[in-house]
Amino acid sequence: MFGKPGYGREDVEVLERRLVYQGFFRLFICRVRHRLFAGGWSRPLARELFARPRAVGVLPYDPAADRVALVEQFRIGALERPAGPWLLELVAGLAGPGESDEEVARRELAEEAGLAVERLVPIAELYLSPGGSDERIALYCGIGRLSGDGTVHGLAGEGEDIRLHLVSREAALAALDAGQCDNAPLTIALQWLALHHREIVEGRR
Protein backbone atom coordinates (compact mmCIF):
# COMPACT_ATOMS: atom_id res chain seq x y z
CA MET A 1 0.00 0.00 0.00
CA PHE A 2 1.26 3.48 -0.83
CA GLY A 3 3.02 5.18 2.05
CA LYS A 4 3.33 2.08 4.24
CA PRO A 5 6.77 2.02 5.92
CA GLY A 6 8.96 -1.00 5.34
CA TYR A 7 9.75 -1.30 9.04
CA GLY A 8 7.89 -0.85 12.33
CA ARG A 9 8.53 0.11 15.94
CA GLU A 10 10.01 -3.33 16.65
CA ASP A 11 12.83 -2.53 14.21
CA VAL A 12 14.26 0.22 16.45
CA GLU A 13 16.22 -0.24 19.66
CA VAL A 14 16.39 2.66 22.12
CA LEU A 15 19.76 2.29 23.85
CA GLU A 16 19.45 5.46 25.95
CA ARG A 17 16.91 8.23 26.51
CA ARG A 18 18.26 10.93 28.83
CA LEU A 19 16.38 14.07 29.90
CA VAL A 20 18.73 17.05 29.63
CA TYR A 21 16.29 19.96 29.91
CA GLN A 22 12.91 20.35 31.60
CA GLY A 23 11.00 23.60 31.12
CA PHE A 24 7.76 24.37 29.31
CA PHE A 25 9.07 21.77 26.85
CA ARG A 26 11.54 18.91 27.33
CA LEU A 27 14.75 17.96 25.55
CA PHE A 28 16.11 14.42 25.49
CA ILE A 29 19.37 12.97 24.22
CA CYS A 30 18.65 9.59 22.68
CA ARG A 31 20.91 6.81 21.45
CA VAL A 32 19.21 4.43 19.05
CA ARG A 33 19.93 1.89 16.37
CA HIS A 34 17.59 0.62 13.67
CA ARG A 35 17.39 -1.93 10.89
CA LEU A 36 18.78 -0.90 7.51
CA PHE A 37 16.98 -1.27 4.19
CA ALA A 38 20.02 -3.12 2.83
CA GLY A 39 19.94 -5.52 5.80
CA GLY A 40 21.54 -5.59 9.23
CA TRP A 41 21.51 -2.80 11.80
CA SER A 42 22.77 0.79 11.88
CA ARG A 43 25.56 1.83 14.18
CA PRO A 44 24.34 3.55 17.41
CA LEU A 45 23.07 7.03 16.53
CA ALA A 46 22.90 10.03 18.88
CA ARG A 47 19.82 12.19 18.34
CA GLU A 48 18.31 15.17 20.16
CA LEU A 49 14.55 14.89 20.72
CA PHE A 50 12.49 18.00 21.40
CA ALA A 51 9.39 16.77 23.23
CA ARG A 52 6.13 18.73 23.06
CA PRO A 53 2.56 17.89 24.09
CA ARG A 54 0.02 17.06 21.41
CA ALA A 55 -1.31 20.14 19.60
CA VAL A 56 -4.67 20.95 18.03
CA GLY A 57 -5.27 23.55 15.32
CA VAL A 58 -8.55 24.92 13.97
CA LEU A 59 -9.40 26.81 10.79
CA PRO A 60 -12.75 28.51 11.53
CA TYR A 61 -14.92 28.76 8.41
CA ASP A 62 -18.26 30.51 7.92
CA PRO A 63 -19.99 28.93 4.91
CA ALA A 64 -22.74 31.57 4.80
CA ALA A 65 -20.25 34.45 4.53
CA ASP A 66 -17.61 32.31 2.77
CA ARG A 67 -14.85 33.58 5.03
CA VAL A 68 -12.28 32.21 7.43
CA ALA A 69 -10.83 33.40 10.73
CA LEU A 70 -7.07 33.69 11.16
CA VAL A 71 -5.11 34.87 14.17
CA GLU A 72 -2.01 37.04 14.21
CA GLN A 73 0.59 36.86 16.96
CA PHE A 74 4.29 37.20 17.74
CA ARG A 75 6.36 34.01 17.31
CA ILE A 76 9.90 33.64 18.63
CA GLY A 77 10.68 30.99 16.00
CA ALA A 78 10.13 33.60 13.28
CA LEU A 79 12.41 36.19 14.91
CA GLU A 80 14.67 36.40 11.83
CA ARG A 81 11.78 36.38 9.33
CA PRO A 82 12.35 39.32 6.93
CA ALA A 83 8.72 40.43 7.19
CA GLY A 84 8.83 40.32 10.99
CA PRO A 85 7.92 37.71 13.62
CA TRP A 86 4.15 38.26 13.60
CA LEU A 87 2.47 35.37 11.78
CA LEU A 88 -1.01 34.68 10.52
CA GLU A 89 -1.96 31.26 11.86
CA LEU A 90 -4.72 28.87 12.75
CA VAL A 91 -6.26 29.03 16.19
CA ALA A 92 -4.17 26.43 18.00
CA GLY A 93 -2.94 25.20 21.34
CA LEU A 94 -1.45 22.34 23.30
CA ALA A 95 -3.51 19.64 24.97
CA GLY A 96 -3.64 19.52 28.74
CA PRO A 97 -3.76 16.26 30.73
CA GLY A 98 -6.85 14.26 29.80
CA GLU A 99 -8.17 16.80 27.28
CA SER A 100 -9.73 15.53 24.07
CA ASP A 101 -8.93 17.18 20.75
CA GLU A 102 -12.40 18.71 20.62
CA GLU A 103 -12.04 20.14 24.12
CA VAL A 104 -8.71 21.71 23.19
CA ALA A 105 -10.15 23.11 19.96
CA ARG A 106 -13.14 24.72 21.63
CA ARG A 107 -11.06 26.10 24.51
CA GLU A 108 -8.54 27.67 22.16
CA LEU A 109 -11.27 29.11 19.93
CA ALA A 110 -12.68 30.93 22.94
CA GLU A 111 -9.31 32.04 24.36
CA GLU A 112 -7.55 33.09 21.16
CA ALA A 113 -10.42 34.33 19.03
CA GLY A 114 -13.55 34.78 21.14
CA LEU A 115 -15.30 32.28 18.86
CA ALA A 116 -17.54 29.26 19.19
CA VAL A 117 -18.34 26.92 16.32
CA GLU A 118 -21.22 24.56 15.64
CA ARG A 119 -19.11 21.58 14.64
CA LEU A 120 -15.54 20.44 14.04
CA VAL A 121 -14.60 18.60 10.85
CA PRO A 122 -11.33 16.60 10.97
CA ILE A 123 -8.70 17.62 8.41
CA ALA A 124 -5.56 15.65 9.24
CA GLU A 125 -3.25 14.50 12.00
CA LEU A 126 0.47 14.81 11.36
CA TYR A 127 3.98 15.29 12.68
CA LEU A 128 5.27 18.87 12.39
CA SER A 129 9.03 18.25 12.36
CA PRO A 130 9.81 14.56 12.94
CA GLY A 131 13.50 15.02 12.25
CA GLY A 132 13.91 16.37 15.78
CA SER A 133 10.53 16.64 17.54
CA ASP A 134 7.77 14.24 18.56
CA GLU A 135 5.03 16.88 18.30
CA ARG A 136 1.84 15.85 16.50
CA ILE A 137 -0.96 18.20 15.58
CA ALA A 138 -4.58 17.39 14.86
CA LEU A 139 -6.14 19.85 12.41
CA TYR A 140 -9.84 20.69 12.21
CA CYS A 141 -12.13 22.98 10.27
CA GLY A 142 -14.53 24.70 12.67
CA ILE A 143 -17.88 25.43 11.03
CA GLY A 144 -19.96 28.33 12.37
CA ARG A 145 -20.82 32.02 12.15
CA LEU A 146 -17.78 34.24 12.54
CA SER A 147 -17.59 37.78 13.93
CA GLY A 148 -15.17 40.07 15.75
CA ASP A 149 -12.77 41.16 13.00
CA GLY A 150 -9.85 43.09 14.49
CA THR A 151 -10.58 42.21 18.11
CA VAL A 152 -7.71 41.26 20.43
CA HIS A 153 -7.68 38.10 22.54
CA GLY A 154 -5.42 35.77 24.51
CA LEU A 155 -4.54 35.03 28.11
CA ALA A 156 -2.54 37.83 29.72
CA GLY A 157 -1.04 35.36 32.17
CA GLU A 158 0.52 33.48 29.25
CA GLY A 159 1.77 36.63 27.54
CA GLU A 160 -0.67 36.24 24.65
CA ASP A 161 -1.53 39.20 22.44
CA ILE A 162 -3.60 37.83 19.57
CA ARG A 163 -5.51 39.73 16.89
CA LEU A 164 -8.39 38.15 15.00
CA HIS A 165 -8.73 38.60 11.24
CA LEU A 166 -11.81 37.62 9.24
CA VAL A 167 -10.98 37.28 5.56
CA SER A 168 -12.80 35.88 2.56
CA ARG A 169 -11.93 32.36 1.52
CA GLU A 170 -10.87 33.76 -1.84
CA ALA A 171 -8.47 36.27 -0.24
CA ALA A 172 -7.01 33.61 2.05
CA LEU A 173 -6.35 31.27 -0.87
CA ALA A 174 -4.81 34.12 -2.87
CA ALA A 175 -2.47 34.83 0.06
CA LEU A 176 -1.60 31.13 0.17
CA ASP A 177 -0.83 31.14 -3.56
CA ALA A 178 1.35 34.22 -3.09
CA GLY A 179 3.44 32.49 -0.42
CA GLN A 180 2.19 34.68 2.43
CA CYS A 181 0.91 31.79 4.59
CA ASP A 182 4.34 30.61 5.63
CA ASN A 183 3.57 28.06 8.32
CA ALA A 184 2.67 24.44 7.73
CA PRO A 185 -0.62 24.01 9.66
CA LEU A 186 -2.21 27.06 8.00
CA THR A 187 -1.01 25.98 4.56
CA ILE A 188 -2.39 22.47 4.98
CA ALA A 189 -5.73 23.64 6.36
CA LEU A 190 -6.27 26.18 3.56
CA GLN A 191 -5.37 23.61 0.92
CA TRP A 192 -7.89 21.24 2.49
CA LEU A 193 -10.55 23.94 2.44
CA ALA A 194 -9.82 24.65 -1.22
CA LEU A 195 -10.53 20.99 -1.97
CA HIS A 196 -13.57 20.50 0.28
CA HIS A 197 -15.42 23.80 0.73
CA ARG A 198 -18.21 22.78 -1.68
CA GLU A 199 -18.87 19.66 0.39
CA ILE A 200 -19.06 21.81 3.53
CA VAL A 201 -21.46 24.29 1.93
CA GLU A 202 -23.66 21.43 0.74
CA GLY A 203 -23.58 19.76 4.17
CA ARG A 204 -21.72 16.66 2.96
CA ARG A 205 -18.92 17.23 5.51
CA 29 to chain centre: 25
Given the residues 158, 160, 199, 202, the one annotated as active site: 158
Q: What is the dihedral of CA 3, 47, 24, 113, to 10 degrees?
A: -30
**Residues 27, 51: contact at Cβ < 8 Å?**
yes
Q: Measured between alpha carbons, how far is 168 from 77 in angstroms, rounded to an integer?
A: 27
Q: Measured between alpha carbons, how far is 193 from 200 in angstroms, rounded to an integer?
A: 9
**Residues 140, 120: contact at Cβ < 8 Å?**
yes
φ, ψ of residue 96 in degrees (nearest 5): -90, 170
Whose CA is closest to 49, among 96, 97, 92, 16? 16
Whose CA is closest to 142, among 66, 199, 57, 54? 57
Q: Mark whether 158 is an active-site residue.
A: yes
Q: Measured between alpha carbons, how far is 145 from 96 in angstroms, rounded to an integer?
A: 27
Residues making up the chain, counted from first to last: 205
Which positions are catalytic?
Answer: 158
